[in-house]
C-alpha cells in the first residue's frame, strides 16, 4: 500500500482503497512497465508506445487528475500522436457528458497540455465544452 502510495504520491481515501481504483492502479503500472520493456527491445528504438494511453479508461484518468501523475502513465514520446490525442479528447468528452465538476475537467486539460508539451505528444487543441457543443450542433444541421 505504501509503495503504490509513493508511486502515485497520494493520500489514501476510502475511494482510492476501493477495488476499482486498485485495479486501475495495477493495470496502469503493468501497461507502463510492459511498454517500457517492449520499447527497449524494439530494434534499439527508444520510442515508447501510445498503447498505454489508448487502454486507460475515464476512471483511471479521474484518478490521475486527483493524484497529478499523468506523466507517469503517458510515456509515449513520438509515433501515433494523433491516436493519443484523439483518445484523450474522447476521455475528456466522456467526463464532460457525465457532468463531472468543471474543476476536474479543467485540471485534466491543464495536466494533459502541460505533460503534452513536456513529452511532445499533444499537438492538437483539447476541445472545450463549448466547442464540443458547437460540433454537435453542426452535425445535427447536416
Instruction: Say how far apart CA 142 and CA 129 lie, in whole Å.
Output: 20
Domain extent for 97? 2-141
Residue 12, C-alpha cell as written in the block: 489514501
Segment 4-56, tens digit of pLDDT: 444 554 444 444 455 555 666 666 666 665 655 544 444 444 444 334 444 44
Total number of domains in the chain: 1
CA–CA separation, 140 and 63 (whole Å): 34
Q: Can you tell me the distance from the alpha carbon of 30 to that of 137, in angstroms, rounded to the nearest whole number?
A: 40
Arithmetic mean of pLDDT, 112-130: 52
How many residues are given for the chain?
142
- The DSSP result for 105-119, as a single string, is HHHHHHHHHHHHHHH
Query: 48: helix, coil or strand?
Result: coil
Amino acid at each position: 500500500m505504501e509503495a503504490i502510495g509513493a508511486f502515485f504520491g497520494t493520500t489514501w481515501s476510502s475511494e482510492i482503497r476501493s477495488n476499482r481504483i486498485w485495479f486501475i492502479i495495477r493495470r496502469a503500472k503493468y501497461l507502463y512497465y510492459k511498454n517500457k520493456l517492449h520499447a527497449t527491445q524494439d530494434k534499439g528504438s527508444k520510442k515508447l508506445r501510445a498503447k498505454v494511453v489508448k487502454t486507460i479508461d475515464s476512471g483511471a484518468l479521474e484518478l490521475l487528475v486527483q493524484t497529478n501523475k499523468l506523466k507517469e502513465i503517458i510515456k509515449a514520446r513520438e509515433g501515433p500522436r494523433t491516436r493519443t490525442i484523439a483518445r484523450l479528447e474522447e476521455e475528456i468528452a466522456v467526463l464532460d457528458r457525465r457532468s463531472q465538476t468543471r474543476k476536474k475537467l479543467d485540471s485534466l486539460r491543464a495536466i494533459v497540455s502541460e505533460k503534452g508539451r513536456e513529452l511532445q505528444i499533444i499537438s492538437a487543441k483539447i476541445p472545450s465544452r463549448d466547442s464540443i457543443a458547437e460540433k454537435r450542433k453542426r452535425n445535427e444541421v447536416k
